[in-house]
Structure 1
Amino acid sequence: MRHDRWPKRTRGFTLIELMTIVVIVGILAAIAIPSYTQYIQRANRNEAQQTLLEAAAFLQRCFTQNNDYRCALPAGFAQTPAAPAAAKYNIAISAGGGVGSTTYTLTATRAGTMSGDECGDLTLTHTGVRGAVNNTRDAAECWRR
């Protein structure tokens, strides 16, 4: 009985087939990773915008009760998300005018993985004006996305 060391039809992939797969996966990764990164940044930006709008609603209630915007934001508004280690934005308020303050500006300052976001730091004023500072994109576009 004779056993062939190499059967006539071997199974498996050739080096060319394997390299073709590696190239295809590389091209897909080159397209997918930047898109995913932009998606994550957009989601984090939306979360910061939501937090700014909630803080603005809190300040409006404060003004209704005290006729003054100088109220401390609750602890939940300090960062988004609330866990300090995972903070993407730090939320701050600057109430202008001293006693009887009738203006404020809320700012969401980038932190952690969002520090490279091209939309910069998001702002919201007492009149509802939405803006961005330290940004390379249009503020209206950043708030829209």
Structure 2
Amino acid sequence: MIVVAIIGIIAAVAYPSYQEYVRNAKRADAETALMELAHFMERYYTANGRYDQDINGKAVALPFNQAPKDGSGKAYDLLFVVPDTDEDEDEAPDPGSPTSSTYTLAAFPKGSMVNDVCGVLTLTHTGAKGQDKNASLAQCWKR
């Protein structure tokens, strides 16, 4: 009986730590994916002189739209958003498109990540990082 109680106590402590570890790993996948997409956008700009379309006028399309990229246990949808111009950090950004000289990428949490303390992660053409919840930027962006 004592062994069962000890196992119960250990499980009560270990399980929340494990859940936080999994959330951090999924968030890191999203951060990595946003950085890869930012690199893609910079290469696109170098080749086309603008972010929104190629030299033939065809609109830019992201090479992948979820994190993790392989689709296993999809935790985030990745897309362009309208840059956040208001001070309401608790409001998720709206889907949008890049302009000729700017873009903002976002990772929208899905599934088990919906209630994550960081919410939607964003990355702009200037490298500015953001999130739409009350957690600190340092807590949400560890890369």
TM-score (norm 1): 0.78
Q: Which residue of 2 aligns with 1:10?
A: none
Q: Which residue of 1 aligns with 2:62?
A: 73
- Check if 1:137 corresponds to 2:135: yes
Q: Which residue of 1 aligns with 2:103?
A: 104
Q: Distance in 2 between matches of 1:140 and 1:27?
A: 31
The offset of 1:141, in angstroms, is 2.0
Structure 1 residue identity aligned to 2:19: T
- Check if 1:39 corresponds to 2:58: no
Which among 66, 69, 73 is matched to residue 82 of structure 1? 69
The offset of 1:140, in angstroms, is 2.7
1:4-63 deviations in Å (ceiling 9; x for gaps): xxxxxxxxxxxxxxx211110110001000000000000010010000000000000111
Q: Distance in 1 between matches of 2:41 and 2:74?
A: 22
TM-score (norm 2): 0.79
- Check if 1:119 corresponds to 2:118: yes
Which among 38, 41, 44 is matched to residue 56 of structure 1? 38
Residue 51 and residue 85 in structure 1: after superposition, are their counterparts in 2 closer, same or farther (change >3 A)?
closer
What is the number of equivalent residue pairs in this alignment?
Answer: 121
Q: Distance in 1 between matches of 2:72 and 2:141?
A: 25
Q: Distance in 1 between matches of 2:11 and 2:134?
A: 26
Q: Which residue of 2 aligns with 1:28?
A: 10
Q: Percent same amino acid at aligned positions?
A: 44
Q: Distance in 2 between matches of 1:123 and 1:47?
A: 13
More strand by share: 1
Runs of 4+ in 1 over 3 A off after TM superposition: 82-85, 94-97
The offset of 1:136, in angstroms, is 2.7
Report if the CA contact (8 A) 1:131-1:140 is conserved. Answer: no
Q: Which ranges in structure 1 are unaligned for 5 or more consecutive residues? A: 1-18
Report if the CA contact (8 A) 2:106-2:121 is conserved. Answer: yes
Q: Distance in 2 between matches of 1:96 and 1:65?
A: 16
The offset of 1:93, in angstroms, is 1.4
Report if the CA contact (8 A) 1:107-1:122 is conserved. Answer: yes
Report if the CA contact (8 A) 1:52-1:124 is conserved. Answer: yes
